[in-house]
Structure 1
Amino acid sequence: MAKSSGKDAKVLPTRNDVPDNAKQVSIGILQGCLVDTIDLYNATRQAHWNVKGPHFGALHELFEQFYTDLAVASDDLAERIVQIGGIASGTTQTLASQTRLPPYPTDLLAGMDHVAALAERYAQVAKTLRAGIEETEEAGDADTADLLTEQSRAMDKKLWMLEAHLGPDKAR
């Protein structure tokens, strides 16, 4: 689920009037989503660089669009953390220690193998975003919930596109 360990998050002074408790909850959730989104970005780049097979052209372009969108999404998450008084962390060390995604296999080559591996990870990130929506709404941070809702919709669309490549009998 969404990482909500932000209760201990340091909140820097800001004129943003979201209540401090909501800020702490949101910072923890956003940081977890940020880490997972950057990790998903890296997995998508891995697929983009190494995809092979009869669907190379279409998948190479699709993966490029996906990682470009993920770069924007991670920036939006990080900026929201800072807007509410947090410190966004996207370092390699933070990613390695905090990601909730399984390691992406570096030996995949076949296009549909990449699609299946990415579909699992996109589904996991979408689920975590949805959990974060509920937690940030409950904490009283409607703007963060809105950001997570926007990202959840985008993630669901990407998951749908990946599953469409797998066909109806392999989508799940």
Structure 2
Amino acid sequence: MSAQDSGEIITLLQMRLHSLNDLALTLKHIHWNVVGPHFIAVHEMIDPQVDQVRAMTDDLAERISTLGGEPNGTPGALVRDRTWNDYSIGRAESIAHLGALDLVYTSIIEDHREAMQATETTDPVTQDMLIEQLRGLELFQWFVRAHLESTGGRLSTTGAKTEAAAADQATDQARKQP
């Protein structure tokens, strides 16, 4: 692999590292701030996701090092480099957090897919790692969406552009159900 290709992949992986570090923190935030009738189900669903996302960050950091880079996992670097805002939901009912989390997962999965495609020809080893991570991230999103879908397959967060809007839509839909 050329030094230029390696540098580009390192930059790409650093952003994925920031994204997944942020996701792990967001998941813990949800874990601590979820309330309501489905508290325990969501509270206990989140911790295994945190553990697996943290393992993904370790894989990313080690791949960056393997390619000759220096992974930066500091909070300052994450805040400085990120292109997204902090998670916006505080203490809230389970369904509200799940609605917002669905949007978080969508964004992370889309960016991970772009990274996967960008490494297809230059670094299939990195691409393979990203594919495996996508498998886990998509599984977690399915767990979240199972709480947000109607039996007809309608997702309560459809069309929401912000976490707050997704949280509100999910909550409204849940309150309409018998």
Q: Normalising by structure 2, what TM-score?
A: 0.82
1:108-127 mapped onto 2 (5 Å cutoff): 108-127=91-110
Q: How many angstroms apart in 2 are the aligned matches of 1:129 and 1:93?
A: 22
Answer yes or no: is the 8 Å Cα contact 1:51–1:110 preserved in 2: yes
SS, match of residue 69 in structure 2: coil
SS, match of residue 165 in structure 1: coil
Selected match of 1:43 from 3, 26, 30: 26
SS, match of residue 79 in structure 1: helix
- Which whole-Å deviations, capped at 9, do the CAs of 1:86-107 have from their partners, x for residues lacking one? 0000101011112233311252
Cα deviation for residue 141 of structure 1 reads 0.8
- Which whole-Å deviations, capped at 9, do the CAs of 1:67-104 have from their partners, x for residues lacking one? 11111011111110001100000101011112233311
Q: Find runs of 4+ consecutive structure 1 residues off by over 6 angstroms.
A: none
Selected match of 1:56 from 16, 39, 52: 39
Are 1:147 and 2:142 counterparts?
Answer: no
> Which consecutive residues of structure 1, in runs of 5 or more, have no partner in the other structure?
1-17
> Which consecutive residues of structure 2, in runs of 5 or more, have no partner in the other structure?
159-178
Q: How many angstroms apart in 1 are the aligned matches of 2:141 and 2:68?
A: 32
Aligned-residue sequence identity (percent) comes to 31
Selected match of 1:86 from 48, 58, 69: 69
Q: How many angstroms apart in 1 are the aligned matches of 2:84 and 2:23?
A: 8
- Give the superposed CA RMSD: 1.3
Tell me which residue corresponds to 1:133: 116
Q: Normalising by structure 1, what TM-score?
A: 0.85
Aligned residue pairs, count? 154
